[in-house]
Structure 1
């Protein structure tokens, strides 16, 4: 493509004079851009197709040689800009017609924001309802659109390999787009993909459609970013194209983008599992008041939860008074249940986050967790029974052994099941944090321990 200086080739006083002649009375010019029509760029006829897109307080007017095309604001649905094959482009959605595309000359790139803003303001005035600004598109939180980059290289499907190589020589290949070229049709819809290294072996006279791959893997701009994260992680893609609802190529997501997302989400999950709210800054830069606010909420909640443990101990005060040695084993037993539950919860939260486990797998994992917890309970029960035998006699040793088996079983099942329950309620399973599981385990541990002690020691006449 031959590069030209529009500022020199197009006499701005001349087109301004023409524009003024075409204006209605009291119509005012707001802004203008030096542009090329889309079809002329594809044909390489940039010199013959230099034009000016003028925004007035009533309409948009495109001047190209003797040709004048006017678009009143009342017939425009929207206007926005993006990055495409030849750099920045402006697209006009005309009511009842196809989208009209103009490529912005690089010398005017810094004026696009102002042009779009002024045009949007005029569109809003002509609309019965306020219109959302589209100059800087916004996307749903955690969607692919929030992490994609618009720095990519795309070529028209009618290009030959020689045209493609010429295109690459005249466009800088950024780090984001150094692996692939994307092939699009006249409406910028994605049609194929060509690894840049493949151009080395192709004949210059071949068409790009002959060497491109049509076995496309792409993601929608509004899809959850977890989708693209899993695709790149599972298939080791270097990047994936992003399309809108019409199939138009609007950006790409690279492996580096996904790594940044994974790191941020892993950090957030760690905070949640420690019962700490997520922060927008680093721990090093976090202030004392902010750290206090992030941590105190859950801790206060857990304080009140632990009141139930204290109430259970008070309920069994007669049993404790009769066999004081039971108190020695209380922290050991309740902590073991909480620890087993925290282990199970951590494993399950991670498995659900990576997609290794689905909600429908709960029954299968319940049986597996019961088996594992039973074996752990037997091993830990045997260990604590030995201590109990020498510390308080065989009666207490049997009580602590039975309790250990039961609290490990109950804690593990709760820790494994709670992330499933939270996911079923469409909540983040990472909320099943270690402090929360430990507090729940403490309550059940106290109830189980003193219930077993009261039953067994009462049955043998020690109470």
Structure 2
């Protein structure tokens, strides 16, 4: 058991440590390692203010389950005290009727606000936003704005960005940082200290990846979500980081040829893990059966030149590796918006010569390896070893080139038909290149070894 939460006899001491010195992030990390029943028992003993701090941490695993386990009145009070965006995240993960039961415990204004956020598609800017931000009318002075910030700072997600709105229409007109307010004259209008430029904003349905790019590009701590000029909320950098980490984790799982995990690795049940992995493995296995079909087609050639089988693993792995490299590069470039769907031909023109050069390098290495083994007597490839070396070298050029080209084009094809490019995982690229690689290899062998071994 985690050293922060000892066994039952030391439970009071553990809770005392939580209240005293332990950082909330360390507490959350320790709770994540505890059995669910133990975590619930500990959380029931934690003072309310500390409980809010714990549940406000996105890193808390299974937060929705933990909230559901609390008494309904206490859970409703907890959601009320939490940041709005975090409360929305927890409610989004809850199933009915638990979600409706908790919503009933909330005050009508908060309930309406959370329902509005939950109504937006998951992954959109509005689904990530918090409504706890600082906005002031444009006719306020710097001194009045600072006084207002002092009063509301405990109820706001961030006070480092202040949004200035028209006093009559409430349309967002400017934004400024806390530093400029602090250094400004108290009697000056807040509009006078703000930079004279239009604020960077996003619409409610903007994708989270686009929001992340804007925050990175303009070096922002938060970006306002605006609808018809009115600011609905803000998406803070910490929310974007949490979303990007989750999205990256899903992509990594897909790259490995499996479904994304819904829970941390050690929290997944045995059956759930089998379900996540078995389907993809079966699909890959069925695909790899095409490799056996390809080899059966060249059964006669293999009987005549059994030496060709020695290089099949080498040929297949080289093509798969080059395809995986190209796929990874293109998927990442698409995700960062460095390239778009219309750039497929530019990528093809780039990968074609790249594949030829990389294939030539591997081909030279393969020829040298066969030559050295033959010369030093490590293995006798027969009287036509030069032709075998030429076959391997030429086949590597063709296979690596095909792997690079197909691996770079597959993400474009998937995105064009509406699938996530991350689904073009390395295993599927490798399967595609394995089958075509065998065809290329034996086709080259038929041409070079015709009249000798074949």
Q: Hey, what does 1:291 align to over in structure 2? A: 273
Q: How many residues align?
A: 342
Alignment of 1:391-406 (within 5 A): 391-392=380-381, 393-406=385-398
139, 160, 177: which one aligns with 2:120: 139
Unmatched 5+ stretches in structure 2: 1-79, 85-102, 375-379
**8 Å CA contact 1:144, 1:223 repeated in 2:** yes
Query: 1:300 Cα shift?
Result: 0.7
Alpha-carbon distance in structure 2 between the residues aligned to 1:117 and 1:217: 27
- Kindly state the Cα deviation for residue 205 of structure 1 after the two structures are TM-superposed: 2.2
CA-CA distance at 1:441 after TM superposition: 0.9
1:302 to 273, 276, 284: 284
8 Å Cα contact 1:113/1:135 also seen in 2: no
Q: Is the Cα contact below 8 Å between 2:181 and 2:190 reproduced in 1?
A: no
Cross-structure match for 2:142: 161
Write the distance in 2 (CA, Å) between the matches of 1:139 and 1:432. Answer: 28
- Kept in 2, the 8 Å contact 1:117–1:135? The answer is no
Give 1:429's aligned residue.
421
Higher fraction of helix: 2
- Bigger radius of gyration: 1
Partner residue in 1 for 2:21: none
Question: Who is 2:341 aligned against?
Answer: 359
* Maintained 8 Å contact 1:116/1:135: no
Which residue does 1:370 correspond to in 2? 352
Secondary structure of 1:151 counterpart: coil
Q: 1:340 matched to which residue of 2? A: 322
Partner of 1:202 in structure 2? 184
Could you tell me whether the CA contact under 8 Å between 2:133 and 2:156 is conserved in 1? Answer: no
Q: Distance in 2 between matches of 1:174 and 1:384?
A: 67
Deviation at 1:192, TM superposition (A): 1.5
* Cα distance between partner residues in 2 of 1:275 and 1:267: 13
Gaps of 5+ in 1: 1-82, 88-109, 121-131
Q: Tell me how far 1:154 sits from its aligned partner.
A: 1.2
Distance in 2 separating the partners of 1:241 and 1:369: 40
C-alpha distance in structure 2 between counterparts of 1:265 and 1:117, whole Å: 28
Report the secondary structure of 1:155's partner residue.
strand
The residue number in structure 2 matching 1:235 is 218
**How far apart are 1:159 and its partner, in Å?**
1.3
Q: CA deviation at 1:380?
A: 0.8
Q: Does 1:461 align with 2:452?
A: yes
Q: Distance in 2 between matches of 1:175 and 1:255?
A: 15
CA deviation after TM superposition for structure 1 residue 307, in Å:
1.4
In structure 1, the residue corresponding to 2:153 is in which secondary structure?
coil
| Residue 272 (1) aligns with residue 254 (2) | yes
- CA distance in 1 between counterparts of 2:389 and 2:104 reads 82
TM-score, scaled to structure 1: 0.69
SS in 2 for 1:253: strand
The equivalent residue for 1:440 is 432
1:234-273 map, 5 Å:
234-244=217-227, 246-273=228-255
Q: State how far apart, in whole Å, the 2-side matches of 1:133 and 1:358 are.
A: 35
CA distance in 2, matches of 1:278, 1:384: 38
| Residue of structure 2 in register with 1:452 after alignment | 444
Q: Which deviates more from structure 2 when the two are superposed, residues 381-390 or residues 327-336?
A: 381-390
Shift of 1:175: 7.2
- 8 Å Cα contact 1:407/1:448 also seen in 2: yes
The answer to which structure has the higher strand fraction is 1
Displacement, 1:352? 0.7
Aligned-pair RMSD on alpha carbons?
A: 2.5
Does the Cα contact within 8 Å between 1:341 and 1:441 map onto a contact in 2?
yes
Choose 337-346 or 202-211, whichever is displaced more.
202-211
Residues 303, 254 of structure 1: CA spacing in aligned structure 2 closer, same or farther, 3 A cutoff?
A: same
